Amino acid sequence: MAEEEDLSEMTNDVERHLKLDPPKPSSSPPCPSHVLENVLENVLKFLTTRRDRNAVSLVSRSWHHVEAQTRFEVFIGNCYSLSPARLTRRFTRVRSLFLKGKPRFADFNLMPPDWGAQFAPWVAATARAYPWLEKVSLKRMFVSDDDLALLAVSFPGFKELVLLCCEGFGTSGVAVVANKCRQLKVLDLIESEVTDDEVDWISCFPEGETHLESLSFDCVESPINFKALEGLVVRSPCLKKLRTNRFVSLEELHTLMVRAPQLTSLGTGAFSSTHDGAQGEQEPDYASAFRACRSLVCLSGFRELTAEYLPAISPVCANLTSLNFSYANISPDVFKPIIRNCHNIRVFWALDSICDEGLQAVAETCKELRELRIFPFDPSEDSEGPVSGLGLQAISEGCKKLESILYFCQRMTNVAVTAMSENCPQLTVFRLCIMGRHRPDHVTGKPMDDGFGAIVKNCKKLTRLAVSGLLTDQAFSLIGEYGKLIRTLSVAFAGDSDMGLRYILEGCPKLEKLEIRDSPFGDVGLRSGMHRYNDMRFVWMSSCRLSRGACRDIAHTLPSVVVEAFGSDDDDDDDDEDDNADYVETLYMYRSLDGPRKDAPKFVTIL
């Protein structure tokens, strides 16, 4: 739901556009409602953001109806926030559906297997209601091969399928989609778990010229038929994006690049050679193949990198706007000669193996950088990571146009974080993950309160924040005081008491998603947000200090909020003498228009 101020602003804007002045006495008959609806329908075509459309739909019943009739793309941030039947009743002309399932902490193995988020009821409902559906994007959903088969046969004009962090399906399901969806333009399998059914799915694409524009299968952990892939690339003249898996060798990548010089985005696969020099065969000229791809601007992959071949990408470095080394264990000595040619990079992802030294090279070269993500090569808490506050501070001083950062490290200082806030005031996303529990400022030994406080004070556009390290309630007080635009907040191993949680819930008016793990927040803090939960998409709290009694109070007071508890000491719903003694390991609560779900497994208790 959009906030009241968003609704007011949108109402005023649209009314000004339509010149909807108060009615004046007139002898002429009133304008028919269908005429006004036609005018409004033409105006709404120019509204593209979800928030604007949500605001418009709340103006009146007629606006609600017209907005529904003109919405062709639907985004559902939680598959349990409404039923498929409600979707198809309200929106009758949907051509594109984006659906999210499990919460983000599922990526860190904090969600039990078989929790839910099934795609089956959604594909069944949309197959009946939207035979013209063209695009489906799913994130953290359970998708079966049967679901994919139903999708493939139900939508004759289907064009785009994106499965991000999904599970439950295999190569046989992908094969059906490849074979049946004759208009397919996009097939992107991204960080999903794809079972190897020993099916040659690449060969299942129809013969003849295809409509493919994007094909990504770098997460598929099984060999592919390279000859079939080569033939598919040749038959796809519109192909702009190709991301292969680690079973595609450097020699095979060379062949694909020669066949498709029009590529703008390339995932290299293994980036290691199988050439053994037998029979005097000369190794391909990889640099020439890259040089021929004059349109290449995005480069990723490098899953089994052989460092000596990396200079082959040098001819395209000057044109790159996105470079992803997040699977490549690269040393600073190998990395620096490459990055120093990448002056136009706007998005850069890498492992921390590039060290502070590598980040300093990024800062010296990449002045247009907008997004940076640094992931840990060794994610264990007790390791001494190779990046620290030195690298962060260098980035802040050299990349002042930065808007989004995700930074994993073991050592950080308030000085470095404060420098980031002062040098990069355009930040909208700041996610600092200090691995290890309650780690203080690496130099002073003090809490990280000043650093995170500076971020919320100086970065006026901040909408997403992740905090970690040794933090007191003072840090959360500052977040509540200055974080007025924050919509997503993630907290790990931080805080003193329930006051910290209270500061957040009372001080951040736009907060929609709250994720907390391993923090000392309990029932008092949870109850302090009773007035907020109806307006939030979800709250996740694991390994905190919650009781079943407090969670049940939320459920009883807020009937539109579904409260799920799992992983507690007592999974039965029998009342004990003292409900507050029932420790809840994980609480997941979310608003829903249709009440509790019907597919909850036995280990989930809906209070």
Q: Write out pLDDT tens, residues 305-333.
A: 999 999 999 999 999 999 999 999 999 99
598 CB neighbour count, 10 Å cutoff = 8
The domain total for the chain is 1
Residues in a beta bridge with 76: 99
User: What is the DSSP annotation of 391-460?
Assistant: HHHHHHHH-TT--EEEEEES---HHHHHHHHHH-TT-SEEEEEE-STT---TTT---SHHHHHHHHHH-T
Residue 54's pLDDT is what? 81
Single-letter code of the amino acid located at 547 = S
215 in a domain, yes or no? Answer: no
**Among 559, 566, 552, which residue's Cα sits nearest to residue 601?**
566
Model confidence at 2: pLDDT above 70: no
The angle that helices 33-44 and 61-69 make with each other, rounded to 10 degrees, is 50
Our CA angle for 458, 464, 468, nearest 5°, is 85
pLDDT band at 274, cuts 50/70/90?
A: confident
State how far the alpha carbon of 153 is from the alpha carbons of 85, 124, 484, in Å: 21, 12, 47
Average pLDDT, the chain: 90
Whole-number pLDDT of residue 109? 85
Q: Is the pLDDT of residue 140 over 70?
A: yes
Phi-psi region of 277 (alpha: psi -120 to 50; beta: other; left: phi over 0): left
344 found inside a domain = no
Report whether 519 contacts 545 (CB < 8 A): no
Q: What local confidence, expressed as pLDDT, does residue 581 receive? A: 53
Compute the distance between CA of residue 254 and CA of residue 256 in angstroms, rounded to an integer.
5
Q: Which of 128-132, 278-282, 603-607 shows the lowest per-residue confidence on average (mean pLDDT)?
A: 278-282
Residues 288 and 290: their CA atoms lie apart, in Å, by 5
Cβ(99)–Cβ(139) below 8 Å: yes
pLDDT at 280: 58
Cβ-in-10-Å burial (0-12, 13-18, 19+) of 258 comes to: middle
pLDDT in tens, 377-423: 988 777 778 999 999 999 999 999 999 999 999 999 999 999 999 99
pLDDT attached to residue 572 = 47
Domain membership of residue 171 (yes or no) is yes
Residue pair 243/267 in contact by the 8 Å Cβ criterion = yes
Q: With bands split at pLDDT 50, 70 and 90, how would you rate the model's confidence at 10?
A: very low
Q: How confident is the model at residue 255 (pLDDT cuts 50, 70, 90)?
A: very high
Spatial neighbors of 394 by CB under 8 A, at least 6 apart, are 356, 359, 360, 362, 363
pLDDT of res. 278: 56
Residue 465 and residue 483 in contact, taking contact as beta carbons nearer than 8 Å: yes
**Is 108 among the domain residues?**
yes
Residue 77: give the domain boundaries.
Answer: 71-199
Q: Distance between CA 451 and CA 470 in Å, rounded?
A: 11
**135: number of CA atoms within 13 Å, CB side?**
16
Residue 431, domain member (yes or no)? no
Phi, psi of 99 (to 5 degrees): -130, 130
Q: What is the pLDDT of residue 251?
A: 94
Per-residue confidence at 154, pLDDT binned at 50, 70, 90?
A: very high
Radius of gyration in angstroms for the set of CA atoms belonging to the chain, rounded to a whole number: 26
Note the pLDDT tens digit of each residue in 515-539. Answer: 999 999 999 999 999 999 999 999 9
Residue 137 forms beta bridges with which residues? 98, 162
Note the pLDDT of residue 93. 93
Domain-embedded: residue 585: no
Does residue 103 fall inside a structural domain? yes
Q: How confident is the model at residue 277 (pLDDT cuts 50, 70, 90)?
A: low
Model confidence band, residue 1 (pLDDT cutoffs 50, 70, 90): very low
pLDDT recorded at residue 63: 79
Q: In this structure, are strands 265-268 and 513-517 parallel, antiparallel, or unpaired? A: unpaired
Angle between helix axes 498-507 and 473-482 (nearest 10 degrees) is: 0
Output DSSP code: residue 500. H
Give the pLDDT confidence of 564-601 residue by residue, as tens digits.
Answer: 999 743 444 444 444 445 899 999 999 999 999 999 99
Question: Quick check: is 485 in a domain?
Answer: no
Distance CA 289, CA 348 (A): 23
With a threshold of 0.95, does the pTM exceed it?
A: no
Q: Please, where are the H alpha helices in 22-80? A: 33-44, 50-57, 61-69
CA dihedral 322, 327, 331, 332 (to 10 degrees): 20
For 510: left if phi > 0, alpha if psi spans -120 to 50, otherwise beta; the answer is alpha
Which residues, 6+ apart, have CB-to-CB distance to 529 below 8 Å? 501, 502, 505, 506, 539
Structure tokens at 533: 């939960």
Amino acid at 550: A
Confidence of residue 459 (pLDDT cuts 50, 70, 90): very high
